[in-house]
Amino acid sequence: MMTSAESPRQVPGEIVTRFAPSPTGRLHLGHAVSAIRAHDFARADGGRFLLRIEDIDGTRSRPEHVETILADLAWLGLTWDELSFQSQRLALYEAALAELRTIGLLYPCFCTRAEIAEAMTAPHGPVAAYPGTCRGLDAAHRLHEPHAWRLDMARAVARAGPLAFIDGGEVHPATPLVQGDVVLARKDAPASYHLAVTVDDAAQGVTDVVRGRDLFEATHVHRLLQALLGLPTPAYHHHALLAGPDGTRLAKRHGAPALAAMREAGEDGRAVADALRAGCLPAGFSTANA
């Protein structure tokens, strides 16, 4: 039996799910699958479905994409109980960062992307995570320079102790150490995905996170942050992804077919949603686990 400290789910009561797209491009069928699954999971239990726009990437987020997201989801026949924007929640992220700094788990990182890429492909062999170049650096006099904030993963894991989370009804041990010293605030953004999504899910009372299998590894980091910040842990439901005719998972950067294009072509969005619920995919499309 797990102790209360180890319990991977601590949020009782009403089911609350969310769909949290970034307004950096148009939604595609893969997004539709995730939104429908999260929506239906909540509605089947009389729960609440939230729509959260992850718009803190100021260099790529566009207001017109927000409008398209809302239109696409309505076209699919989905409704939401709350609409929120990460750009309006910056104080929450700063408070979480301040708490982690206070307990000595963050350090500033001044490395450029090129320097990180070079370090990770050095002759001693490639590594899967940031090699800790700035860890232990006396940087108090350099904080006026552009920098990111990284989590000292080894210290954080030691502080939190053994952790677990539920995914698809199964208990998984959390192993965030392999992710390395992840970024929690970027040079060009007040919070990384890891920090923002963890803080938001707790603040909004999300009980069940329904998202793609590609984010399973990120859940290990989120479980750690929940423990460090004293936040509740939702249950997770990572679903298979959609792959296109070339066998690669659908992604904005690969030119995946946009829902807006289907909508503008006069297709019936509710029929598309029902087909996806039934597992009926367009010709050439398939599901993939990564």
Q: Across the chain, where does the E strand assignment appear?
A: 16-19, 48-53, 82-85, 106-109, 148-151, 164-167, 170-173, 183-185, 208-212, 235-239, 241-243, 286-288
Q: Which long-range contacts (CB under 8 A, 24 or more apart) does 269-273 make?
A: 269/72, 269/74, 269/75, 269/76, 269/77, 270/76, 270/77, 272/32, 272/76, 273/32, 273/36, 273/76, 273/77, 273/78
Look-up: residue for tokens 């950067």?
253
Phi, psi (degrees; rounded to nearest 5) at 261: -65, -40
Pairing assessment for the beta strands 106-109 and 183-185 based on DSSP bridges: unpaired
Given 57, 116, 252, 274, which residue is catalytic? 252
Would you say 238 and 14 are in contact if contact means Cβ atoms under 8 Å apart? no
In the 8-state DSSP scheme, what is residue 189? B
Would you say 37 and 239 are in contact if contact means Cβ atoms under 8 Å apart? yes
d(CA 277, CA 290): 20
Q: Among this protein's residues, is 187 annotated catalytic? A: no
Look-up: residue for tokens 């696409």?
72
- C-alpha distances (whole Å) from 179 to each of 84, 133, 137, 174, 208 are 29, 15, 21, 11, 23
What is the set of active-site residues? 252
